[in-house]
Amino acid sequence: MITSTKKPPTVLITGASQGIGAAIAKIFAKEIPGVRLALVARNIGKLSAVARACAKLLAGRGAAVEVFACDVADEASVTALAAAVEKRFGVVDVLINNAGKFEGAPFGEMSVAQFDGLVAANLRSVFLMSRAFVPAMAKRGRGDVFNMSSIAGLDAYPGGAGYCAAKFGVTGLSKVMRAELKAKGVRVCCVYPGATWSPSWEGSGVAAERIMPATDIARAFLDVYRLGRNTVVEEIVLRPQLGDL
């Protein structure tokens, strides 16, 4: 656990109701004294369960956790979210764009609706959330943004037309954000995880040693955040030791 005389950060995490997002919320709650967590997802029931777990970790430490239901691919929803978060917490210090979804189909069989849905959930969401919260960081001269890509944003594979296109887009958007924001005190990190445990792997038949625990990915986010302000990790690639997923 670290100690600091600085004002505890406000950390906003999208897709925080399960998987990596939930793990990130819990590790920040455990490790950052006084942290204020804004947890965002569409499933308010699951999100509230994560919030309760975080609240137990934060108990007696002068911190706060709040849940916000939002479709982060919808412009109006994001605008409303930004107003609600500002009213509750003020300026966001750390934005973790983790929300997304996976759906596979061969290029020739993927429908336009499937493609548009994947681009919206994985790429449009990053753009909308960043546009809503990053300008205040730049104005203040300090902030951290984590954009969740995937190894599918580095290497294409059969059946990944929509998902790979969206995650390659996150890669490109992150590079643009880094170029535009580095002189304004805002650090931008693009994260490329391989196979990581989430409910979607249940019943897959894939051996546990071929899948990373979400807590390990979450730890990487925390460690990067803790670095001194003169250092930025622009990209992180995290893969199972066997390296084939």
pLDDT digits (tens, 9 = 90+) for 155-186: 988 888 999 999 999 999 999 999 999 999 99
Helices (H), the chain: 19-31, 44-58, 75-89, 112-119, 125-140, 161-181, 214-226
* Whole-prediction pTM: 0.93
Side-chain-facing half-sphere of 170: CA atoms under 13 Å: 36
Task: Tell me the pLDDT of the chain averaged across its residues.
Answer: 92
Q: Indicate if the alpha-carbon torsion angle 72, 77, 82, 88 is positive or negative.
A: negative
Active site residue 163: yes
CATH number for the segment(s) 10-238: 3.40.50.720
Burial 132-150 (b: 16+ CB within 10 A, else e): bbbeebeeeeebbbbbbbb
Catalytic residue among 157, 163, 192, 225: 163
Q: Any idea where the domains of the chain sit in the sequence?
A: 10-238
Per-residue model confidence (pLDDT) at position 207: 78
